[in-house]
Amino acid sequence: MNKKIIIAVDGMGGDYAPTEIVKGCVQALQDFPLKLLIVGHPEVLKKELSKYTFNEEQLKVIPAYETITNEDSPVAAIRSKKDSSMVIGLRLLKEKKVDAFISAGNTGALLAGGTFLVGRIPKVQRPALAPLIPHKNGFSLLIDCGANVDAKPSYLAQFAYMGSIYMENILNIPNPKIGLVNIGVEKEKGNEVTKAAYQLLEDSPLNFIGNVEARDISYGVADVIVCDAFIGNIILKYTEGFGQSLFDILKEELLKTPLSKIGAFMLKSSFKNIKKRFDYTEYGGAPLLGLQGLVVKAHGSSNHKAIYSAIKQCIRFTEQDIVSKIQNSIIE
Amino acid sequence: MNKKIIIAVDGMGGDYAPTEIVKGCVQALQDFPLKLLIVGHPEVLKKELSKYTFNEEQLKVIPAYETITNEDSPVAAIRSKKDSSMVIGLRLLKEKKVDAFISAGNTGALLAGGTFLVGRIPKVQRPALAPLIPHKNGFSLLIDCGANVDAKPSYLAQFAYMGSIYMENILNIPNPKIGLVNIGVEKEKGNEVTKAAYQLLEDSPLNFIGNVEARDISYGVADVIVCDAFIGNIILKYTEGFGQSLFDILKEELLKTPLSKIGAFMLKSSFKNIKKRFDYTEYGGAPLLGLQGLVVKAHGSSNHKAIYSAIKQCIRFTEQDIVSKIQNSIIE
């Protein structure tokens, strides 16, 4: 790193804030020559920080006396809670006082705040929220899971560009495969939006592999899965719910009889391995791509490990200068 | 049963046709006082039938010398292959010579053929394909997974009516809970179509529980899951792919070490129970609701058990006179 990277972290957002947020920040400082600004209620944060020893030059508390909760209406909260940890964090990014801002708080508010306060990269029509979702042998980037529930074909094409840059530079995947979510693989399948988006992607320099059906996503057929936010949300949340319900069913069946309990005990490490293959906390949060700065949405139930990974992700994003790369390559 | 029910079955459609189709038909005849017409190439079907003994009064072969394959373009195939098993089966239904038609063949062609050849119930704006999908404690009806990829709000409301009638009369669920697939539970969430559909459903006499998020579907939050066919296809196929990939991962991990192999062996019956909870072959196929007759799409990889269940489903559908019930209750 040439210059010291500075990252702001929302100390008040998420189910386990501030405890796990602060813990993740302190751990990151042990491994990286960073500067972190934790934004939130100073007394609450200082009490948490008193549990640890750390270099005070590297970690500062930025006071914010309000908190945006999950119950708040996103746009109204960003407008009215000007002294909230989220708004102050986003302002620090806007004013280039930090390189990135991480929050595990209200997703809608972060999306709205990112767009209103940080602002889009010129030419980018809509910023997109892009989490990683697990597949059989790794992870794919699912773009968009944000706010664009009625996306235009040109938005989808831009999502593909941004997703490709991200996967190539952050996950080191050369020439990432781009797939368009559709109800069939043939070019003429789908609705008006997907048909037009297909044409734009086919004419692009991207490694477009065509339409992908939902049944192939879990087999890792594409590195970047492009869709509008409505579809993205369905896939993201269905993955969560279906996966969890399958594990619940498994648990129920394995604890039914004495024999099955013994069998389950013998398979403890196998089940641990499986769980690890789906562990999103290793990969940080979902970047909000297309803004003039890096905003990362960490999962609402982030623990310290997820926050640590999100910080690591921000370092790489900043070093690779993804914002400039998007700015230079995106086509209107 | 007052009058003998007659069901036509496409003998040539599906991955395991005609062997498994014929086997399922013969088994159904052992249990139900039906008449079955198997449509397809007479020599091929008669060769299969020669393996069994059955009452020839109850089972007839209807000759059809063409077959619509999965590679055929749906609309073109229905128009040009007039001597195909699918077109002839649909015509038998149109002419009221049979009460129902089952096919495990090309889904798109069956949808197109159902609409063009059998025809819609007056007032029904669009027929819908409605498979059952597994949840933690049973199955929900997912409507639509058919052809309406750009659905209007009024289509979605009608899907809810038809789905409710089906679940109440076929699966014996009193006052089925109706959920609208959306990206949040709040009324104002989603796109223009879901917002308008929400209002229509709220004003209806149905047991509308509001928006459902994708993460709750697998927990059985609603008996009828309403969405356009694009979303329905994504959910249906994602369930298939994600579930299969999870089982693949499980298998891989369980066969890794000698200890895990023993554990897996001890859990054999537990895994069998889990598999059974997801076994769609017990519930027949997906009805195409809204037509002037019953068309059932059996899964492409249907075995004899799936065909047997589909026949059973057709009996109940006919006895309950679902077509009249839809006709009498649906609102334009």
| Selected residue of B137, B195, B244, B246 to mutate for chain A interface (largest A Cβ count, 10 A) | B246
Provide the CATH topology of domain A130-279.
Answer: Isopropylmalate Dehydrogenase (3.40.718)
Residue corresponding to tokens 């049973």: B138
On whether any CB of chain A is under 8 Å from the CB of B76, the answer is no
* pLDDT score for B1: 45
Q: What are phi and psi of B218, to 5 degrees?
A: -70, -10
Question: pTM of the full predicted structure?
Answer: 0.90
Per-residue pLDDT tens for B181-236? 999 888 988 888 999 999 999 999 999 999 999 999 999 999 999 999 999 999 99
Q: Report the chain B residue with the minimal C-alpha distance to residue A191.
A: B149
Rounded mean pLDDT of A17-23?
97
Give B150→chain A minimum CA distance, Å. Answer: 6
> Across chain A, what does the average pLDDT equal?
93
Q: Contact A245/B149, CB-based, under 8 Å?
A: no
- CB-CB: which of B192, B213, B266 is closest to A237? B213
Rounded mean pLDDT of A174-193?
92
Per-residue pLDDT tens for A222-258? 999 999 999 999 999 998 888 888 888 888 888 999 9
Cα–Cα distance between A209 and A201 in angstroms, integer?
9
Q: Contact A253/B273, CB-based, under 8 Å?
A: yes
Nearest to B95 by CA among B152, B134, B37: B37
pLDDT above 70: percentage of residues in chain A: 99
On whether any CB of chain A is under 8 Å from the CB of B175, the answer is no
Give A132→chain B minimum CA distance, Å. Answer: 15
Q: What CATH class has B1-124+290-332?
A: alpha beta
Q: Identify the band that residue B2 occupies on the pLDDT scale cut at 50, 70 and 90.
A: low
* pLDDT score for B280: 73
A1-124+290-332 matches A130-279 in fold: yes
Q: Where are the domains of chain B?
A: 1-124+290-332, 130-280
A240 burial via Cβ count (<10 Å: 0-12, 13-18, 19+): middle
On whether any CB of chain A is under 8 Å from the CB of B266, the answer is yes
| Selected residue of A250, A267, A279 to mutate for chain B interface (largest B Cβ count, 10 A) | A267
Q: How far is CA A28 from the centre of its chain?
A: 18
Task: Tell me the chain B residues in contact with residue A267 when contact means C-beta distances shorter than 8 Å.
Answer: 254, 260, 263-264, 267
In the predicted structure, residue A75 carries a pLDDT above the cut 80: yes
- CB-CB: which of B214, B246, B253 is closest to A273? B253
Q: Identify the band that residue A1 occupies on the pLDDT scale cut at 50, 70 and 90.
A: very low
Nearest to B35 by CA among B5, B70, B65: B5
DSSP code per residue over A235-253: HHHHHHHHHHHHHHHHHHH
Provide the CATH topology of domain B130-280.
Answer: Isopropylmalate Dehydrogenase (3.40.718)
- Cβ under 8 Å to A: B residues 139-168: 149-150
- Cβ under 8 Å to B: A residues 197-236: 213-219, 229-231, 233-236
